[in-house]
Amino acid sequence: MTSSLPGLEGRTAVITGAASGIGRATARLFADAGAAVVVADLNAEGAEQTATDIGKQGGTALAVAGDLSDPAVITRLVAETNGRFGGTDILVNNAGVTDSKTPPARVSDQEWERVVRINLTAPFLLTRAVLPHMLQQQHGVIVNIASEAGLRGGAGGIAYTAAKHGIVGMTKSLAAAYRLAGIRANAIAPGPVRTGISATAAPVDPEGRDLLAPVLEMGITIGVAEAEQIASVARFLASDAADNLNGAIIPADGGWAAL
């Protein structure tokens, strides 16, 4: 698939959450396609590893470590990217955390704020920070990693579901606002993907898990994807092959969303 797509040479891609999982697979694929990649992640060691692996394969990558829920980290990420590469041409808002699936009546303020801040507010702040460069050059691509939980109510807890629906809305709003400015924003809504996301998740609430079980089991029965299968969709969206796609929310779930 990669070889038949237009390359990403001359483009700089900032990929959040690229120390592992979908983000790491996306960073590798984009670097293979010729992009200079900025690997942004809370996990400094993992971010360095992704950047080192890309370097060994002959690609160009810069690791920037930090917690993106801190606006100062977003400012530093954009400054380091601009300083090294001149600006962001492609942004993949991928970093995310799941919630505890606690039933809505018992969700704490802390959980709501943490999940919404990492999964929705941080992508907005980072997007806002890279838009001036994209607007100035009248070209830019934003790929948001949503979730099946951005399409339906039963694929996550309320904070995760609300944040992922928020990312879907943000994607459409960006597409509507900048459709004439050469900037495209699209989102991918993955079903279950084999990554380490549950290792870093809050402990799952048993009552909430049981409430969601029928929907989640349906997704798992349909199939658990590999990170590379989501990365390849991001690679397509980032390329000029997708230059007429704007505001699209693409399920990448083996057909779960079609049921």
Ligand X SMILES: NC(=O)c1ccc[n+]([C@@H]2O[C@H](COP(=O)([O-])OP(=O)(O)OC[C@H]3O[C@@H](n4cnc5c(N)ncnc54)[C@H](O)[C@@H]3O)[C@@H](O)[C@H]2O)c1
Residues annotated as catalytic are 160
Burial of 244 (0-12, 13-18, 19+ CB in 10 A): exposed
Q: Does 20 bind ligand X (CB under 6 A)?
A: yes
Cβ-based neighbour number of residue 207 at 10 Å: 12
Cα-based distances in Å from 143 to 3, 188, 230, 236: 20, 7, 11, 10
β-pairing, 183-190 vs 90-93, is unpaired
Binding test (CB under 6 A) with ligand X, winner from 157, 166, 192, 208: 192
Report the site for ligand X in 209-248 (rule: CB under 6 A).
227
Q: Does 197 bind ligand X (CB under 6 A)?
A: yes
Q: Does 42 bind ligand X (CB under 6 A)?
A: yes
CB closer to ligand X out of 17 and 59: 17
CB closer to ligand X out of 134 and 234: 234
Give the binding-site size for ligand X (rule: CB under 6 A). Answer: 28
Structure token digits, residue 189? 């809504």
143 vs 76: CA distance, rounded Å: 21
Q: Does 22 bind ligand X (CB under 6 A)?
A: yes
Binding test (CB under 6 A) with ligand X, winner from 50, 81, 88, 94: 94
Q: Does 251 bind ligand X (CB under 6 A)?
A: no
CB closer to ligand X out of 135 and 197: 197
Q: Does 69 bind ligand X (CB under 6 A)?
A: yes
CB closer to ligand X out of 7 and 254: 254
Q: Does 43 bind ligand X (CB under 6 A)?
A: yes
Q: Given the rule CB under 6 A, which residues bind ligand X?
A: 17, 19-23, 41-43, 46, 67-69, 94-97, 118, 145, 147, 190, 192-193, 195-197, 200, 227
